[in-house]
């Protein structure tokens, strides 16, 4: 199984400031045949289902504000919120879809400082 | 707009078999472009993938649950379902259905249903 870890567990950022979440996979999720990283980021607000933000590690889903960006390759990935807004308070999960079983990181809680 | 809606028993007793259904609206589950899946989330915890299925019936299971899980599709009713046998309190969770954004399991999930809470308690 590919184990996904995230850091930090939680963070508090002032409105308008940058928030950075890290995700690490226990093995590479970069598929050499298509040079894609099989890594997604989701946002989950209380009492709501997860919402897809980023896929292929850096492709923003349609309708997602451009303050959200994903980067990284291989085993190390980052989700950046460039200017935190009040509505961004949520738990953020990374997920690998490179191999079965599909696995998620434990989540990072983002709050307002 | 594609929508997914889970339905389930709400409350179950240990050792029973859970049956959940995900009804798809706004699109056809028989589309050759997508896989469909189930994911669960115990209260206050993280996400666990359970299984995924194609309209043709091709399936993938989480090995940790495979012995107890069956996923199947009913194209005539535009829905897919999950059965989980011998449930215990550890199976208490919100169960989500979702669509993979491509024609294999190797795609992210979008959209998700709202989820249905299943509690296992004697």
CA B75, B77, B80, B84 dihedral sign is negative
Are B13 and B120 a contacting pair, CB within 8 Å? Answer: yes
Contacts of residue B52 in chain A, CB cutoff 8 Å? Answer: 102
Please tell me the predicted confidence (pLDDT) of residue B79: 97
pLDDT (mean) for A16-33: 98
- List B residues 9-68 in contact with A (Cβ-Cβ < 8 A): 37, 46-49, 52, 60, 62-64
Number of CB pairs, chain A paired with chain B, less than 8 A apart = 60
Are A13 and A113 a contacting pair, CB within 8 Å? Answer: yes
Q: Tokens at residue B1, please?
A: 């707009």
Please tell me the predicted confidence (pLDDT) of residue B33: 86
Helix/strand number for chain A, H first, E second: 0, 13
Give the C-alpha distances (Å, rounded to integers) separating B48 from A103, A104, B39, B43.
7, 7, 6, 12
Cβ A104–B109 below 8 Å, yes or no? no
A80 CB-near residues (< 8 Å, 6+ apart):
A18, A19, A20, A21, A68, A69, A70, A71
Please tell me the predicted confidence (pLDDT) of residue B103: 86
CA B71 to chain centre: 7
Give the C-alpha distances (Å, rounded to integers) separating A57 from A7, A52, A63.
16, 12, 17
Residue A42 distance to chain B (closest CA, Å): 9
Contacts of residue A103 in chain B, CB cutoff 8 Å? Answer: 49
Picking from B63, B96, B107, the nearest residue to A101 by CB comes out as B63
Cβ A105–B46 below 8 Å, yes or no? yes
The per-residue pLDDT of chain A, averaged, comes to 98
pLDDT tens, residue order, chain B (122 aa): 999 999 999 999 999 999 999 999 999 998 878 999 999 999 999 999 999 999 999 999 999 999 999 999 999 999 999 999 999 999 999 999 999 998 888 999 999 999 999 999 99
pLDDT (mean) for A32-56: 97
Bridge partners (DSSP) of residue B22 are: B6, B80
Please tell me the predicted confidence (pLDDT) of residue B31: 82
Cβ B105–A102 below 8 Å, yes or no? yes
Selected residue of B108, B111, B114, B115 to mutate for chain A interface (largest A Cβ count, 10 A): B108
Please tell me the predicted confidence (pLDDT) of residue A85: 98
Band (A92; pLDDT cuts 50, 70, 90)? very high
CA A83 to chain centre: 16
CA B97 to chain centre: 4
pLDDT (mean) for A19-48: 97
Closest CA to A19 of A93, A105, A106, A109: A109
Contacts of residue A93 in chain B, CB cutoff 8 Å? Answer: 46-47
């Amino acid at each position: 199984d590919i184990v996904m870890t995230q850091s930090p567990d939680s963070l508090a950022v002032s409105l308008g400031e940058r928030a950075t979440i890290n995700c690490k996979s226990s093995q590479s999720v970069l598929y050499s045949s298509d040079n894609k990283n099989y890594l997604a980021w989701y946002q989950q607000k209380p009492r709501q289902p997860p919402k897809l933000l980023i896929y292929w590690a850096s492709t923003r889903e349609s309708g997602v504000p451009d303050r959200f960006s994903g980067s990284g390759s291989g085993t190390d990935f980052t989700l950046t919120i460039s200017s935190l807004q009040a509505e961004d308070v949520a738990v953020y999960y990374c997920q690998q879809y490179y191999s079965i079983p599909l696995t998620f990181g434990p989540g990072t809680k983002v709050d307002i400082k | 707009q594609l929508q997914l809606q889970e339905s389930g028993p709400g409350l179950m007793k240990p050792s029973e078999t859970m049956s959940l259904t995900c009804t798809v609206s706004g699109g056809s589950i028989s589309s050759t472009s997508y896989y469909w899946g189930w994911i669960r989330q115990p209260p206050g915890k993280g996400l666990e993938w359970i299984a995924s299925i194609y309209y043709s019936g091709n399936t993938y299971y989480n090995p940790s649950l495979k012995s107890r899980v069956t996923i199947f599709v009913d194209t005539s009713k535009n829905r897919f379902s999950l059965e989980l046998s011998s449930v215990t309190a550890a199976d208490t969770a919100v169960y989500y259905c979702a669509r993979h954004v491509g024609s294999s399991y190797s795609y992210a999930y979008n959209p998700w249903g709202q989820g249905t809470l299943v509690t296992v308690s004697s």
